[in-house]
Structures are given as structure tokens and as C-alpha cells.
């Protein structure tokens, strides 16, 4: 099975990055794009986020081999229903959402009989909108596919090849397991970031100007995460609530143990925890999932030639 025409529904950070990556890494593949916001469509056309920017979702998907829904997870079902009448029977239907079980169910409800293979490229920044995308976003990042048990193997393989061509490393995983893993690695960290930045903002004893002026690296990085798209993350927490609540409960228990160690002056317990977590950070860098350079090397993310 060959993917020659890709439709991108939703032209923000991820959708725009897909379009730019396809243009750079798969120049023979045609892309169409659609966004519900007319201003986004206009800006997407100016930036060339897809070969053709369409005025309706039906026009975007009409001849597609692959349709990627790049909208907040809470909007997936409505976006899919808007495309249903024009969607070719042969098309692979996928997405880029951060929760998978609920998204797979939503897309299957909206598009019964179609080949739905949910996916999650584990990549992103705190920026959003049509100006946020860049072609190298997926380079050396994982993309997790969560095909249902009855998925067409040829379609799964075609989707794997597509993401690998954009520079991603592909893993296949059960949707429920994905949601549990991402609750730990992504969703809870974002929840903590939103909380600590909100706590700092609400302090009466420390003014907001002092919080901003004297932000050290740790708080600065929390604010970067907390600057992420609020609509997207609201939907993620609601769609993956069970896994998030389970992991949040475990985190709360660990936080209570840490609080107890500080109160008791248990330096050994604190040192053991900090040493263990430092090793995890080193492993992340060693596996190429972040950069040990100052500012994590993020200033280099727009360099050309990023398909591999």
C-alpha cells in the first residue's frame, strides 16, 4: 500500500509540521490541508503548510490515501464527522493526539467501516498555531501507533513507513498501555507545571514581578511547559482521566514521602532520590530524546535536512 496523497485536518503546530515535513522528506507526496479557522487557513497558505489549502473539510479529504486529524482530542469526533461524506473507502484514518483509547473510539464512531489507526508523534513545543510548525519536529522522536486488533497489516505498515520517512522512530503499542505511559511521561509533568506556575502567581508574599524577575532555570522551564495550548491540554486531561488520576495518586504518595523526608531532615533519602532521578535524565540524553547542550539545543531545531 502506497501513500501518495495526505490530507491534514488542523493546521497548528503538529499539522503544520506534518505538512512541512512531507514537503521536505516526501516531495512526491501531495498534501491538502484544512482548518476550521479562516485566519489559520490564510496563514497556512502563506507559509505553504500544505500544497493546497482547502475551504471545506470534504475537499481536503476527497482524494486522500491518508487523513491525519491534527485537532485537539476533544474535537476529533466532530472533525471526523465533518469529513465522513467525502472520505474515500481506501483511506487510512489517523491522528496525532496525546491520548489514544478515547480518540480511537471517537474516530471509529464517526467513521464506521474505515481503517482507523490512531497515532501519537511524541513531539511538540510550547508554541501553537500555524506559525509554530517546522519540518524537523519529528526527527529522532518516537511516534507510537495504536492499531486495533483487526487493523489491516498493510495499512499499519504504510503508516509506519510514512512516519519513518518524516524522521520519526515508530513503536506499536496497545492504546490503554500508551495512555498509562504518557500519563507518566507527559500528562502529569504538564499538570505539575501548570500547578506550580499557578501557585507562584497566587502567592501574596511574593509579587508576580519578583517571580518573573528572579526565575531560575527550573521555574523558567516549568513556565515553558505551562505555556502550551490550553485547549489541547484541557482535552488531554479529560480524555485520559483514568490514567492521569491513577498516576496522580502515585505522584501524591511520593510527594508525601518527600515531604516527610524534608521534615525529618532525612538527607540520605533525599540524596538517594536525587541520584536516581539524575540517572534517568542522563538516560534520556543518551537515547537522543533531549540534548545536554545549553538550552537543550533547542535553538538548532530549524536546521535543514532533517528527514533522518
Overall residue count recorded for the chain in this entry? 308
The pLDDT, as a whole number, for residue 147 is 97
Q: How confident is the model at residue 298 (pLDDT cuts 50, 70, 90)?
A: very low
Buried b (16+ CB within 10 A) or exposed e, 185-196: ebbbebbbbbeb
Written as nine digits, the cell of 75 is: 474535537
Name the residue with higher pLDDT: 140 or 229: 140
pTM of the model: 0.79
Written as nine digits, the cell of 184 is: 507518566
pLDDT at 55 over 70: yes
User: How far does the chain reach from its first CA to its final CA, in angstroms?
Assistant: 22
% of the chain surpassing 90 pLDDT: 60
pLDDT at 30 over 60: yes
* Burial (0-12, 13-18, 19+ Cβ within 10 Å), 103: buried
Q: For 266-278, write each residue's pLDDT tens digit.
A: 999 889 888 887 7
Q: For 206-232, write each residue's pLDDT tens digit.
A: 676 777 676 666 777 777 777 878 888
Q: Where are the domains of the chain?
A: 5-174, 177-291
CATH topology for 5-174 is: Rossmann fold (3.40.50)
CATH topology for 177-291 is: 6-phosphogluconate dehydrogenase C-terminal fold (1.10.3660)
Q: What is the mean pLDDT of residues 40-49?
A: 97
Contact criterion met (CB below 8 Å) for 25 and 53: no
Q: For 182-212, write each residue's pLDDT tens digit.
A: 888 888 888 888 888 887 777 766 676 777 6
Amino acid at each position: 500500500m502506497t501513500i501518495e496523497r495526505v490530507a491534514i485536518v488542523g493546521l497548528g503546530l503538529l499539522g503544520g509540521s506534518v505538512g512541512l515535513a512531507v514537503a521536505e522528506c516526501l516531495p512526491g507526496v501531495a498534501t491538502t490541508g484544512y482548518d476550521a479557522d479562516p485566519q489559520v487557513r490564510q496563514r497556512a497558505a502563506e507559509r505553504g503548510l500544505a500544497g493546497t489549502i482547502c475551504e471545506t473539510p470534504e475537499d481536503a479529504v476527497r482524494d486522500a490515501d491518508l487523513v491525519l486529524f491534527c485537532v485537539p482530542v476533544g474535537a476529533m469526533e466532530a472533525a471526523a464527522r465533518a469529513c465522513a461524506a467525502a472520505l474515500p473507502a481506501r483511506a487510512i484514518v489517523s491522528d496525532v493526539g496525546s491520548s489514544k483509547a478515547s480518540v480511537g473510539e471517537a474516530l471509529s464512531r464517526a467513521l464506521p467501516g474505515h481503517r482507523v489507526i490512531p497515532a501519537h508523534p511524541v513531539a511538540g513545543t510550547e508554541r501553537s498555531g500555524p506559525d509554530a510548525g517546522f519540518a524537523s519536529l519529528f526527527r529522532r522522536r518516537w511516534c507510537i501507533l495504536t492499531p486495533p486488533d483487526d487493523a489491516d497489516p498493510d495499512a499499519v505498515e504504510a503508516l509506519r513507513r510514512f512516519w519513518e520517512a518524516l524522521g520519526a522512530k515508530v513503536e506499536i503499542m496497545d492504546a490503554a498501555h500508551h495512555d498509562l505511559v504518557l500519563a507518566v511521561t507527559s500528562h502529569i509533568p504538564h499538570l505539575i507545571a501548570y500547578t506550580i506556575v499557578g501557585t507562584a502567581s497566587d502567592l501574596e508574599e511574593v509579587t508576580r514581578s519578583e517571580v518573573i524577575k528572579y526565575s531560575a532555570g527550573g521555574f523558567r522551564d516549568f513556565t515553558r511547559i505551562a505555556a502550551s495550548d490550553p485547549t489541547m491540554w484541557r482535552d488531554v486531561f479529560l480524555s485520559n482521566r483514568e490514567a492521569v488520576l491513577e498516576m496522580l495518586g502515585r505522584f501524591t504518595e511520593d510527594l508525601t514521602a518527600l515531604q516527610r523526608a524534608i521534615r525529618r531532615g532525612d538527607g540520605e533519602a533525599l540524596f538517594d532520590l536525587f541520584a536516581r532521578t539524575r540517572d534517568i535524565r542522563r538516560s534520556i540524553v543518551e537515547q537522543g530524546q533531549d540534548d545536554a547542550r545549553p538550552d537543550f539545543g533547542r535553538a538548532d531545531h530549524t536546521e535543514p535536512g532533517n528527514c533522518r
